[in-house]
Amino acid sequence: MGQNLALNIAEKGFPISVYNRSTSKVDETVERAKKEGDLPLYGFHDAESFVKSVQKPRVIIMLVKAGSPVDQTIKTLSAYLEKGDCIIDGGNEWYENTERREKAMAELGLLYLGMGVSGGEEGARNGPSLMPGGSFEAFKYIEDILLKVAAQVPDSGPCVTYIGKGGSGNFVKMVHNGIEYGDMQLIAEAYDVLKSVGKLSNEELHSVFAEWNKGELLSFLIEITADIFGIKDDKGEGHLVDKVAFGDILTDQVVDKKQLIDDVRQALYASKICSYAQGMNLIRAKSIEKGWDLKLGELARIWKGGCIIRAVFLDRMKRAYDRNPDLANLLVDPEFAKEIIERQSAWRRVVCLAINSGISTPGMSSSLAYFDTYRRARLPANLVQAQRDYFGAHTYERVDVEGSFHTEWFKIARQLKN
């Protein structure tokens, strides 16, 4: 990631110095820069000469393993940095660590940013989605570079924006990663149902996912899934995906294959809406708690290119937040509400089919449960509150009278039994 991002920066015309504790990696990066167009990239084998080679005010981008390696790298670099210089952590760091480091750096007169970088190695080289948070002054130091190296989407610009104060950049990237793996889980469940119940071959799965990638599910993850089903095993018979651990499911259910494919498509899309809704609400809640004032529509915009979750779906999501920046949940946006209601019958059929076939679909099932929970005016938590008050005097609130109440449930129950 670090090597590819450095090459990306150099390719955009910005001279860049690189350093790694492993001198062979430095030499490898310099050699790649020469081969890929004699790019203005310069390697250094020690921290002091590396730092001193950078023009003041210095901006150092780190891509190292999260946790103590970051602290160690900061300690090594800060010995040679001067007031006004800036450190940017481009790793997947816990947001509270970023906030701690920003305060510590400020005491030394240094600026600090925690920047989420999405897109994998290919994205880092050709244009990632970037989520910088922390010192706004530090962001302005490097804004011109980030605008050039980020993924470029024709209708919405570079996939980078200043996220907000403190650890907001890392927090947003963390939730982004949760959404990403939620997406992959849902796609895997769709595959499982189609293969195990529908008995689709890999050739059919390739065609189905390729077709889905032309409509509402158009995305990087659907695209690569279609590709995976088309790749044969170079070390044996059949397709490679079947050699990455997939257990057979014993089911004798007879289904209409065409109907199943359409139902699964709708179930996948509806589940995806719920997954994103939960992710954006996590960001919204943390933004309110920390006073970050995050713009959810802007986050949807910078995820449209470069990153792993890039999808046409994000256009709809951005429009939803443009219509109502204070939207409480994607599920109550008129457009998304209509789409999910239209798909809920197919969604329920798929979940029921999976359950009856003994196929685990935790993503689709929990997304459906989230939707059903959200749309109901009342839930059975009233009984839970009564139970808690019964055994622990935790009190409860009433729907008809304000205030907190406690009932002597045990005494009343004993009287009724006598």
Active site residues: 173, 180
Structure tokens at 203: 């050739």
The answer to whether the beta carbons of residues 74 and 87 sit under 8 Å apart is yes
261 and 193 in contact (C-beta within 8 Å)? no
Cα(100)–Cα(3) distance, rounded to whole angstroms? Answer: 27
Half-sphere exposure of 205 (CA within 13 A, CB side): 28
Kindly report the backbone phi and psi dihedral angles of residue 57, in degrees, each rounded to the nearest multiple of 5, phi listed first: -65, 135
CB 196 within 8 A of CB 255: no
**Cα–Cα distance for residue pair 414/84, rounded to 1 Å:** 72
Q: Which residue has the tokens 């939960």?
A: 278
Cα separation, 279 vs 302, in Å, equals 15
Q: What does the alpha-carbon distance between residue 158 and residue 126 come to, in Å, rounded to a whole number? A: 12
Distance from C-alpha of 117 to C-alpha of 20, rounded to nearest angstrom = 19
DSSP string, 245-296: ------------HHHHHHHHHHHHHHHHHHHHHHHHHHHHHHHHHHT----H
